[in-house]
Amino acid sequence: MVPLTELVAGGDVVVLSGAGLSTESGIPDYRGPSGRARRAEPMTYQRFTGSAEARRRYWARSHVGWRQIGQAAPNAGHRAVAGLERRGLLSGIVTQNVDGLHQAAGARRVIELHGGLDRVVCLSCRERTPRAELECRLSAANPRWAAEGRINPDGDAALTDAQVAGFQVVDCDSCGGLLKPDVIFFGENVPRERVDECFALVGRARSLLVLGSSLAIRSGLRFVTRAAELGLPIAIVNQGPTGGDADAALLLDAPLGATLTELAARL
């Protein structure tokens, strides 16, 4: 079995990160230890675009959840990954996360596979605006509305029907179109050019390092499959089994922060 330090020391490593990397920042994951209590169904693109009530529910929940997601800070794992990039050992980072914590830790070559919660896009004119601007507008439209709920991995909060009732949604300031977070919902495809960019990155790599992803869906697993087809060594650090275990040269079931901090110290 290839030691993790040896695999990373060779350079040209592509990192594929998932929700498990951000749990130490207080953001729960989907299928790992912190996500087991999750009960809410994720929003789909079809429901969001087809129902005003679904949009009201989404934005009310997301308005509450953003208070935690927007204030989350990078943890030791994010900082270690950024440090490996600064030392020239990483050729790129593909993240399935939408929290922006890789960039907040100082990483620069980051592809946000599923987009970012810190941006909002209009579905009519396609204008993108900072999430902070929308939060100010939502607060102004709902001056006496207040709710609290358990935060979900998607960046929203679990709220009751009574808590959602009366919440006012705002539309695009430029054209009046529907606003959506600049993330990929279930039922929505990742843009082809973004997928191609990730495949190209893997194609130029010497190895693939998977961090905190269960690889339970094709969105991330396809890059592990491609790496295996190319004969690249694959290392997976995750708490619990993953869909890519059969292709891995190295499997570590361990906390991400401590493991990556130790790795960075050894290199």
Distance CA 56, CA 223 (A): 35
Q: Are residues 194 and 95 in the same domain?
A: yes
According to the annotation, is 96 in a ligand binding site? yes
Q: Is residue 32 part of a domain?
A: no
Q: Are residues 127 and 53 in the same domain?
A: yes
Q: Is residue 254 part of a domain?
A: yes
Q: Are residues 168 and 198 in the same domain?
A: no
Q: Are residues 125 and 178 in the same domain?
A: yes
According to the annotation, is 189 in a ligand binding site? no
Distance CA 37, CA 131 (A): 28
What are the tokens at 193? 């050019």
* Structural contact between residues 187 and 106, judged by C-beta atoms closer than 8 angstroms: no
Distance CA 29, CA 118 (A): 18
Q: Is residue 44 part of a domain?
A: yes
Q: What pLDDT is recorded for position 1?
A: 59
pLDDT tens-digit series, residues 33-44: 544 444 557 789
Query: Considering 137, 153, 183, which residue would you say is the last residue of a domain?
Result: 183
Residue 160, sorted as left (phi over 0), alpha (psi -120 to 50) or beta, turns out to be beta
Q: Are residues 169 and 237 in the same domain?
A: no
Q: Is residue 209 part of a domain?
A: yes
Q: Is residue 168 part of a domain?
A: yes
According to the annotation, is 98 in a ligand binding site? yes
What residues are labeled active site? Answer: 114
Q: Are residues 145 and 178 in the same domain?
A: yes
Q: What pLDDT is recorded for position 42?
A: 77
Query: Considering 166, 183, 200, which residue would you say is the last residue of a domain?
Result: 183
Q: What pLDDT is recorded for position 7?
A: 95
Reduce the DSSP state of residue 92 to 3 states and report it. strand
Q: Is residue 158 part of a domain?
A: yes
Distance CA 267, CA 252 (A): 18
Residue 231, sorted as left (phi over 0), alpha (psi -120 to 50) or beta, turns out to be left
According to the annotation, is 50 in a ligand binding site? no
Q: What pLDDT is recorded for position 236?
A: 98
pLDDT tens-digit series, residues 154-184: 677 788 888 898 899 999 999 999 999 999 9
Q: What pLDDT is recorded for position 128?
A: 97
Q: Give burial (CB, 10 Å; 0-12/13-18/19+) of 11.
A: middle
Q: Are residues 260 and 227 in the same domain?
A: yes
pLDDT in tens, the chain (267 residues): 569 999 999 999 999 999 999 999 999 876 555 444 445 577 899 999 999 999 999 999 999 989 888 899 999 999 999 999 999 999 999 999 999 999 999 999 999 999 999 999 999 999 999 999 999 999 999 998 887 777 776 677 788 888 898 899 999 999 999 999 999 998 899 999 999 999 999 999 999 999 999 999 999 999 999 999 999 999 999 999 999 999 999 999 999 999 999 999 999
Q: Are residues 202 and 256 in the same domain?
A: yes
Q: What pLDDT is recorded for position 35?
A: 44
Q: Are residues 142 and 257 in the same domain?
A: no
Q: Is residue 240 part of a domain?
A: yes
CATH classification at residue 245 = 3.40.50.1220
Q: Are residues 243 and 151 in the same domain?
A: no
According to the annotation, is 177 in a ligand binding site? no
Instruction: Give the chain's domain count.
Output: 2
Q: What residue numbers bound the domain in which 254 lies?
A: 1-27+74-114+190-267
According to the annotation, is 182 in a ligand binding site? no
Q: What pLDDT is recorded for position 13?
A: 98
Q: Are residues 82 and 208 in the same domain?
A: yes
Query: Considering 183, 201, 218, which residue would you say is the last residue of a domain?
Result: 183
Q: Is residue 33 part of a domain?
A: no
According to the annotation, is 214 in a ligand binding site? yes
Q: What pLDDT is recorded for position 2?
A: 67
According to the annotation, is 198 in a ligand binding site? no
* Structural contact between residues 158 and 40, judged by C-beta atoms closer than 8 angstroms: yes
Q: Are residues 65 and 170 in the same domain?
A: yes
